[in-house]
């Protein structure tokens, strides 16, 4: 046993020498967390602000101006142009100079004053359905608050407001100020360790295949468990190191809260890394070149990330897709990280996703170890 550990020690020494000698890769390993956190957590936000706004006010009365003001003064919309024909405003939408166009018809004020109701039209560019939904919600809010102010203007008897009106007041739990980086950072940390684990481990073994040194190792008495431990342990350590770096940046740079315990985060990460490393090793046993391995690893990385609930919410996916995400380890780790960091969840609360990850780890490692052979057929 002691001799066995010694062999692993020599392999570890060699791997670390090679990793730290690789001038092309080393900087990336350490700079990656900064770039990912800074760019992604700020850019990838669900927040919709400064929407380019076009106004087509055909009424041109005091009331129509007031409604328009409600939009432009809300802080969400940014007036980029005005016109008096539908053709013009559609042109603006097509040209991308506006994402939303408010059309106030002629006789808007008159209708309101006489019948107590009037129509306005809102044309929203829905190429990006998510943003369109948010714009619509903002607009509804604005129109609703405009309606409330009408009671003072409209002749008595025509106003319906003031009587038993229900005002919905929402408060956001767990992220009371709706800071998007708080929401994004825990998930981006997951992407970070996944990248490190999947790519570095996958490329490493297949690289030895490509240059042929794998044969040189396979003719030695080195055992399979020694090879696999020596190959995966460095990336397991680097992955947890990356996570640490990321957590420090999250804390100091983004002031992301940590309501749960770091011990839980590291326990889950330690298990999660085994899933990812097992996958990386499995990919490298199934491929003959770094190019193939890279291609497969990217395929999974993209699917895993897009279906992890990191950028789009899982609840808004169709049912079959929601079921699919259960097989996605990234989804479970993102979920756990958010719950632990933002809600202070402990082991008991995250037991079911953790159990799935543990099962994944066992499955992946078993498959990879089984596929790795010293003797080929």
Interface positions with other proteins (CB under 8 A) = 3, 6-7, 9-11, 13-14, 17-18, 21-22, 211-213, 215-222, 374-377
Task: Measure the CA–CA gap between 82 and 96, rounded to whole angstroms.
Answer: 14
Which is nearer to other proteins, 66 or 374 (by Cβ)? 374
In the complex, the smallest distance separating the C-beta of residue 33 from other proteins, rounded to whole angstroms, is 25
Which is nearer to other proteins, 86 or 210 (by Cβ)? 210
Which residues partner with 77 through β-bridges? Answer: 51
In the complex, the smallest distance separating the C-beta of residue 209 from other proteins, rounded to whole angstroms, is 10
Which is nearer to other proteins, 48 or 214 (by Cβ)? 214
Task: Measure the CA–CA gap between 377 and 323, rounded to whole angstroms.
Answer: 38
SS (H, E, C) 339-372: HHHHHCCCCCCCHHHHHHHHHHHHHHHHHHHHHC
In the complex, the smallest distance separating the C-beta of residue 198 from other proteins, rounded to whole angstroms, is 22
Which is nearer to other proteins, 3 or 319 (by Cβ)? 3
Q: Which positions ≥6 away from 170 have C-beta within 8 Å?
A: none
Give the CA distances from residue 274 to residues 16, 41, 201, 204, 357, in Å, rounded to whole numbers and listed in that order.
Answer: 19, 26, 11, 16, 9
In the complex, the smallest distance separating the C-beta of residue 202 from other proteins, rounded to whole angstroms, is 19
Which is nearer to other proteins, 22 or 140 (by Cβ)? 22
- Provide the pairing of β-strand 100-104 with 121-124: antiparallel
Which is nearer to other proteins, 60 or 224 (by Cβ)? 224
In the complex, the smallest distance separating the C-beta of residue 6 from other proteins, rounded to whole angstroms, is 7
In the complex, the smallest distance separating the C-beta of residue 358 from other proteins, rounded to whole angstroms, is 31
User: Which one, of 360, 163, 352, 174, lies nearest residue 259 by Cα?
Assistant: 174
In the complex, the smallest distance separating the C-beta of residue 267 from other proteins, rounded to whole angstroms, is 32
What tokens appear for 145 in the block?
A: 């608050």
Which is nearer to other proteins, 43 or 219 (by Cβ)? 219
Which residues partner with 103 through β-bridges? Answer: 56, 121
The answer to whether 76 and 50 have CB atoms below 8 angstroms apart is yes
What tokens appear for 105 in the block?
A: 């018809």
Task: Measure the CA–CA gap between 113 and 70, rounded to whole angstroms.
Answer: 19
In the complex, the smallest distance separating the C-beta of residue 214 from other proteins, rounded to whole angstroms, is 9
Q: Where are the beta strands (DSSP E) in 11-145?
A: 51-57, 77-82, 100-104, 121-124
**How far is the first Cα of the chain from the last one, in angstroms, to the nearest whole number?**
29
Which is nearer to other proteins, 106 or 373 (by Cβ)? 373
What tokens appear for 88 in the block?
A: 């013009």
């Amino acid at each position: 046993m002691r001799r066995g550990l010694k062999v692993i020690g020599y392999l570890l020494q060699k791997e670390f020498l090679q990793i730290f000698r690789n001038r092309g890769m080393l900087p990336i390993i350490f700079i990656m967390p900064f770039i990912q956190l800074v760019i992604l957590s700020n850019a990838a936000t669900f927040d919709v602000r400064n929407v380019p706004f076009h106004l087509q006010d055909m009424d041109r009365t005091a009331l129509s101006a007031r409604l328009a003001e409600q939009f432009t003064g809300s802080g969400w919309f940014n007036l980029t142009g005005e016109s008096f024909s539908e053709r013009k405003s559609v042109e603006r939408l097509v040209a991308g100079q506006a994402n939303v166009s408010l059309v106030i018809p002629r006789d808007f004020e008159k209708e309101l004053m006489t019948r107590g109701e009037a129509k306005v039209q809102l044309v929203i560019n829905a190429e990006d359905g998510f943003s369109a939904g948010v714009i619509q919600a903002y607009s509804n809010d604005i129109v609703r608050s405009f309606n409330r102010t009408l009671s003072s203007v409209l002749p008595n008897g025509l106003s319906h407001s003031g009587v038993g009106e229900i005002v919905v007041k929402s408060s956001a739990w767990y992220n009371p100020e709706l800071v998007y980086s708080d929401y994004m950072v825990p998930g981006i940390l997951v992407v970070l360790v996944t990248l490190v684990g999947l790519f570095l481990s996958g490329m490493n073994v297949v690289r030895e295949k490509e240059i042929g040194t794998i044969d040189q190792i396979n003719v030695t008495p080195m055992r399979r468990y020694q090879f696999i431990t020596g190959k995966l342990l460095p990336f397991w350590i680097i992955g947890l190191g990356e996570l640490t770096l990321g957590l420090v940046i999250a804390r100091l740079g983004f002031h992301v809260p940590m309501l749960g315990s770091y011990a839980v985060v590291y326990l889950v990460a330690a298990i999660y890394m085994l899933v990812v490393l097992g996958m990386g090793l499995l990919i490298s046993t199934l491929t003959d070149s770094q190019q193939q391995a890279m291609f497969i690893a990217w395929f999974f990385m993209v699917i895993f990330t897009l279906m992890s609930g990191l950028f789009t919410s899982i609840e808004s996916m169709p049912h079959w897709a929601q079921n699919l995400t259960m097989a996605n380890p990234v989804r479970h780790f993102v979920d756990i990280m958010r719950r632990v960091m933002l809600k202070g969840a402990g082991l008991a609360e995250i037991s079911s996703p953790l159990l799935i990850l543990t099962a994944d780890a066992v499955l992946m490692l078993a498959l990879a170890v089984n596929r790795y052979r010293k003797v080929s057929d």
